[in-house]
Amino acid sequence: MPQIIAETEIDSDIQTCFDLARDVGFYKQSLKNRNEIPVSGKILGLVEEGDVVTWETNHLGFMQHLTLKVTELKKPSLFVDEMTEGSFKSYRHDHIFKEQKGKTIMIDKLHFASKYGIIGKITDYLIFKRYLKGLMTTRNKILKQKAEELSKR
């Protein structure tokens, strides 16, 4: 199963970073060029443990619906969302936050696997891993920028 790990150092407090990462509206805004929109479940505000969000997304030219459930939440250090319905065989995203020398270290760990057996495995490593890493990196840059902007106020 492929895994992507991204670490982002943010010059902001842990609570601000944690709340931005679980804010449905901010997530939508940060990926507006991907046309990701929440269509059911928790479509506004901060997700909490047990919340479900169904996203309509357009990735790699395919329109799809992904339903994610927040399966674990420990404020302000961790939340986990897992796919309950969608195009992957499995999908788990751990959002980890640590304080370090007055900054926040945000660590994303994404584990995923495509359907379709060996073809899915090949596609995961040749296409999806790079694509999802780019998506995560873009979103993390936007979150970092917003959190640091809010900290300067």
Q: What would the pLDDT profile of 12-44 be if each residue is shown by its tens digit?
A: 999 999 999 999 999 998 877 767 899 999 999
The helix (run of H) or strand (run of E) holding residue 27 is helix 24-30
CA angle 88, 89, 93 (to 5 degrees): 65
- Give the residue extent of every domain in the chain: 3-151
Q: What is the mean pLDDT of residues 137-151?
A: 95
Looking at CATH, the fold of the domain delimited by 3-151 is given as Alpha-D-Glucose-1,6-Bisphosphate; Chain A, domain 4 (3.30.530)
